[in-house]
Amino acid sequence: MNVYRGRFAPSATGSLHLGSIFAALLSFLHAKQQNGQWLVRIDDLDEKRCNQSHSDEILNCLNAFGLESDRAVIYQSTRLKDYADALSTLKRQGILYSCTCSRKSLPKGPYAGNCANRLGQPFLADSAIRISTEKLSTSVNDLLLGPQITGSPGDFIVKRRDGLFAYQLACAVDEHIDSITDVIRGVDLLESTPMQCFISERLGFASPNYGHFPVLIDSNGSKLSKQTFASPVNRKFPGITYSKLAKLMLLKDTPSDRDPASIWLAFFQSVTTPAAIKSMAGVTNTLSV
């Protein structure tokens, strides 16, 4: 049997907020309660938005919350060759094509395959690369939500026009290299799962199990994110953040705001069994903070 290995994969675009700690915590607990390992991967492919000081800040913050990677921290920016190799493998299968459509010219919804006549042809300069998804399955057997059907992504981008490897490709390759068995993340990423499974399949990799939990929303109904300027957590007092999360998870008899991260983690481990995480995920897609 595979040893459980989970991960938390923040983008190095800014400080962690309540929603990010929630994601880190749930993936951590799910791993630890199954005697698994938990890894941290920094998603830092986008040089314009990511930098080392964001990565350091994220790692310091995770440490302050007692959430430490069981192995050396992984940086996507060190894996460009792996992503390029994966792209070549897909290219040899004749399932990639250059897309010259501008984002503005495309209607919302799945890409209709306007450039699919270039399938198997040499790539054009300055164009995005898409993958033909004829055999993609949109059903996901979610660990937390049960069977799900997502929307169809159409032929999606695996390498962007600006030369960056797309998240879907990089992520699928990473889960394989890192032998990740279980991906526990927010339901906002459910739609990515069929794309990542599809790429894994085409590359001959086993897909991990996926489980999606509710995302936190603010009083405007927007997901807490760096884009909506969610405020960074206070890393001097992790108990403040942990007690907010415990409230959202309807946990009783919690430690106090002033208690250290270790006390909080011991508390969470004693009450949030995988079954409890599952029932929370099954009840709602969003939690209001």
Question: Residue 115 touches which of Zn ion, ligand GLU, none (CB < 5 to 8 A by kind)?
Answer: Zn ion
Q: CA 38, CA 17: separation in Å to the nearest integer? A: 20
Nearer to ligand GLU (CB atom), residue 97 or residue 167: 167
Largest CA distance in the chain: 63
Residues that bind ligand GLU (CB under 6 A): 9-11, 43, 171, 185, 189
Nearer to ligand GLU (CB atom), residue 86 or residue 115: 86
Neighbours of 133 (CB within 10 A): 22
Nearer to Zn ion (CB atom), residue 99 or residue 230: 99
Question: Residue 10 touches which of ligand GLU, Zn ion, none (CB < 5 to 8 A by kind)?
Answer: ligand GLU
Contact 6, 39 (CB under 8 A): yes
Residue 272 Cβ vs Zn ion, minimum distance, rounded to whole Å: 45
Q: CA 284, CA 287: separation in Å to the nearest integer? A: 7
Q: Which residues contact 227 (CB under 8 A, 6 or more apart)?
A: none
Nearer to Zn ion (CB atom), residue 124 or residue 240: 124
CA 82 to chain CA centroid, Å, is 19
Residue 167 Cβ vs ligand GLU, minimum distance, rounded to whole Å: 6
CA 21 to chain CA centroid, Å, is 13
Helix (H, G, I), strand (E, B) or coil at 200: helix
Question: Residue 189 touches which of Zn ion, ligand GLU, none (CB < 5 to 8 A by kind)?
Answer: ligand GLU
Residue 100 Cβ vs ligand GLU, minimum distance, rounded to whole Å: 27
Neighbours of 125 (CB within 10 A): 6
Question: Residue 99 touches which of ligand GLU, Zn ion, none (CB < 5 to 8 A by kind)?
Answer: Zn ion
Residue 185 Cβ vs ligand GLU, minimum distance, rounded to whole Å: 4
Residue, CB closest to ligand GLU: 43
